[in-house]
Structure 1
Amino acid sequence: MNLTNRQIHRDVAYFYVGLILAFSFSGIILNHRQSWYPTEYAYESEEVQLKLPKGELTEQSIRNLVASYPLEYESHRLRGNSLRIDFADRNIMEINTEDGKGVLEARRTVPLLGHTIKLHKSTDTAWIWYSDIFGAAMILIAITGMMIPMGKNGFKTRGWKLMLAGLIFPLLFLFVL
Structure 2
Amino acid sequence: MKLNNRELHRDLGYFFIGLIISFSISGILQNHRQTWHPEKYTVEVKPITIQLPKDEKDITEDFAKNLSFGFKDKFRRYSIKKGELKISYEKHDVEIDIKTGKGEVITFKKTPFIAQMNQLHKDTSVWWIYYSDAFAVGLIAIAVTGAMMFPRGKFSFKSRGWKLAILGIIFPLIFLFIIA
| TM exceeding 0.5 | yes
CA distance in 2 between partners of 1:154 and 1:117 (Å): 36
The count of aligned residue pairs is: 142
1:20-169 equivalences under 5 Å are 20=23, 23=26, 39-55=39-55, 56=57, 57-64=59-66, 66-67=67-68, 69-72=70-73, 73-88=75-90, 90-112=91-113, 125=126, 126-149=128-151, 151-155=153-157, 158=159, 162=162
Q: Any conservation in 2 of the 1:146–1:159 contact (CA below 8 Å)?
A: no
RMSD: 4.4
CA distance in 2 between partners of 1:96 and 1:60 (Å): 18
**Structure 1 residue 118: Cα displacement:** 8.4
Query: Which is further off, 66-75 or 45-54?
Result: 66-75
State the identity as a percent. Answer: 20
Rate the CA distance shift 1:21–1:155 in 2: closer, same or farther, 3 A.
Answer: closer
Residue type of the alignment partner of 1:23: S
Runs of 4+ in structure 1 off by over 4 angstroms are: 112-124
Rate the CA distance shift 1:91–1:60 in 2: closer, same or farther, 3 A.
Answer: same
Structure 1, unpaired ranges of 5+: 1-5, 28-32, 167-177
**Structure 1 residue 85: Cα displacement:** 0.9
Q: Any conservation in 1 of the 2:24–2:140 contact (CA below 8 Å)?
A: no
Q: Any conservation in 2 of the 1:45–1:104 contact (CA below 8 Å)?
A: yes
Residue type of the alignment partner of 2:26: F
Q: Any conservation in 1 of the 2:47–2:103 contact (CA below 8 Å)?
A: yes
CA distance in 2 between partners of 1:122 and 1:80 (Å): 35
Structure 2, unpaired ranges of 5+: 1-8, 31-35, 167-180
Q: Any conservation in 2 of the 1:94–1:103 contact (CA below 8 Å)?
A: yes
Rate the CA distance shift 1:92–1:118 in 2: closer, same or farther, 3 A.
Answer: farther
Rate the CA distance shift 1:59–1:38 in 2: closer, same or farther, 3 A.
Answer: same
**Structure 1 residue 117: Cα displacement:** 7.5
| Greater relative contact order (CA < 8 Å, ≥ 6 in sequence) | 2
Q: Any conservation in 1 of the 2:80–2:86 contact (CA below 8 Å)?
A: yes
